Structure 1
Amino acid sequence: MAKVLHDRQKEILKTIVELYLKNDKPVSSDEVLENSNIKASSATIRNDMQKLQKLGYIYQQHSSGGRIPTDSALKIYFQMIKDAYNQEDTHIDIPKKYKFYDLNLMFQSLSELISNTLEGLVIFEYPNPKYVYITRVTVTPLMETNNVITILTNLGLAVSRTVEIYGLPPSKELENILNNGLVGKSFHSLFMFLSAPKFETEDLRVTNFIEILGHLTSEFNRKKYIISGLEKIISQSIPDLEAIEALASMVENDTIKEGIFKLLDFTDDIEILFGEDLNSKALKKMVFFYTTYKLNADPLGRVLFITQKYCNYEKNYYFLREYISRLSEIISKNL
Structure 2
Amino acid sequence: MNIRLQERQKEILKSIVEIYIKTNKPVSSEDVLNNSNIKASSATIRNDMQKLQKLGYIYQQHSSGGRIPLDPALKIYFEMIKEAYDVKVNHIELPKKYKFYDLNLLFQNLALLISQVLEGLVIFEYPNPKYVYITRVTVTPLTEENSVITILTNLGLAISRTVEIYGLPVSEELEKILNNALVGKSFEKIFSFLSTKQIEIEDLRITNFVEILEHLTDEFKRVRYISVGLEKIISKSQPDLDTIVTLAILVENDKIKEEFFTRLDFSPDIKVFFGKDINSKTLKNLAFFTTTYILNTNILGKVLFITEKYCNYEKIYLILKEYTSRLSEIISKNF
What TM-score results when the alignment is normalised by the length of structure 1? 0.93
1:171-218 deviation line (CA, Å, top 9, x unaligned): 121111111111111111111222236379996445311222222222
Q: Report the CA distance shift for 1:115/1:200 in structure 2 as closer, same or farther (over 3 A).
A: closer
Distance in 1, matches of 2:80 and 2:126, equals 31
Equivalent position SS for 1:166: coil
Which amino acid in 1 is paired with 2:273? L
Equivalent position SS for 2:185: coil
Displacement of 1:92 after TM fit? 5.1
Displacement of 1:263 after TM fit? 2.8
- 1:318 is aligned to 2:325: no
Q: Report the CA distance shift for 1:26/1:51 in structure 2 as closer, same or farther (over 3 A).
A: same
Which amino acid in 2 is paired with 1:18? E
Q: Which moved more, 1:51-60 or 1:83-92?
A: 83-92
Which amino acid in 2 is paired with 1:254? D
Displacement of 1:147 after TM fit? 2.1
* 1:23-102 superposed matches below 5 A: 23-86=23-86, 89-91=89-91, 100-102=100-102
Residue 222 of structure 1 aligns with which residue?
222
Residue 104 of structure 1 aligns with which residue?
104
Displacement of 1:254 after TM fit? 0.7
Distance in 2, matches of 1:187 and 1:237, equals 39
1:227-246 deviation line (CA, Å, top 9, x unaligned): 11111012226342221111
- Is the contact made by 1:227 and 1:251 (CA closer than 8 Å) also made in structure 2? yes
- Is the contact made by 1:289 and 1:304 (CA closer than 8 Å) also made in structure 2? yes
Which amino acid in 2 is paired with 1:232? K
Residue 333 of structure 2 aligns with which residue?
333
Equivalent position SS for 1:289: strand
Equivalent position SS for 2:236: coil
Q: Report the CA distance shift for 1:237/1:5 in structure 2 as closer, same or farther (over 3 A).
A: closer
- Is the contact made by 1:98 and 1:330 (CA closer than 8 Å) also made in structure 2? no
- 1:144 is aligned to 2:144: yes
Q: Report the CA distance shift for 1:15/1:41 in structure 2 as closer, same or farther (over 3 A).
A: same
Residue 195 of structure 1 aligns with which residue?
195
Question: Runs of 5+ in structure 2 lacking a partner?
Answer: none
Distance in 1, matches of 2:219 and 2:238, equals 40
Equivalent position SS for 1:155: coil
Q: Report the CA distance shift for 1:30/1:201 in structure 2 as closer, same or farther (over 3 A).
A: closer
Q: Which moved more, 1:81-90 or 1:26-35?
A: 81-90
Displacement of 1:141 after TM fit? 2.4
Residue 155 of structure 2 aligns with which residue?
155
Distance in 1, matches of 2:201 and 2:81, equals 62
Query: How many percent of aligned residue pairs carry the same amino acid?
Result: 72
Equivalent position SS for 1:122: strand
Distance in 2, matches of 1:199 and 1:181, equals 10
Q: Report the CA distance shift for 1:269/1:76 in structure 2 as closer, same or farther (over 3 A).
A: same
Equivalent position SS for 2:107: helix
Displacement of 1:160 after TM fit? 1.9
Q: Report the CA distance shift for 1:201/1:221 in structure 2 as closer, same or farther (over 3 A).
A: closer
Displacement of 1:87 after TM fit? 8.2
Residue 127 of structure 2 aligns with which residue?
127
Residue 303 of structure 1 aligns with which residue?
303
Distance in 1, matches of 2:125 and 2:142, equals 32
Distance in 1, matches of 2:100 and 2:43, equals 60
Q: Report the CA distance shift for 1:236/1:17 in structure 2 as closer, same or farther (over 3 A).
A: same
Distance in 2, matches of 1:199 and 1:238, equals 54
Residue 115 of structure 2 aligns with which residue?
115
- Is the contact made by 2:168 and 2:206 (CA closer than 8 Å) also made in structure 1? no
Which amino acid in 1 is paired with 2:50? Q
Question: Runs of 5+ in structure 1 lacking a partner?
Answer: none
Distance in 1, matches of 2:237 and 2:274, equals 21
1:245-286 deviation line (CA, Å, top 9, x unaligned): 111110001111101222333412211111121111111111
Aligned residues: 335
Equivalent position SS for 2:142: strand
Distance in 1, matches of 2:325 and 2:64, equals 46
Q: Report the CA distance shift for 1:132/1:32 in structure 2 as closer, same or farther (over 3 A).
A: same
Distance in 2, matches of 1:233 and 1:97, equals 23
- Is the contact made by 2:197 and 2:210 (CA closer than 8 Å) also made in structure 1? no
Which amino acid in 2 is paired with 1:121? L
Which amino acid in 2 is paired with 1:67? R
What TM-score results when the alignment is normalised by the length of structure 2? 0.93
Distance in 2, matches of 1:19 and 1:235, equals 23
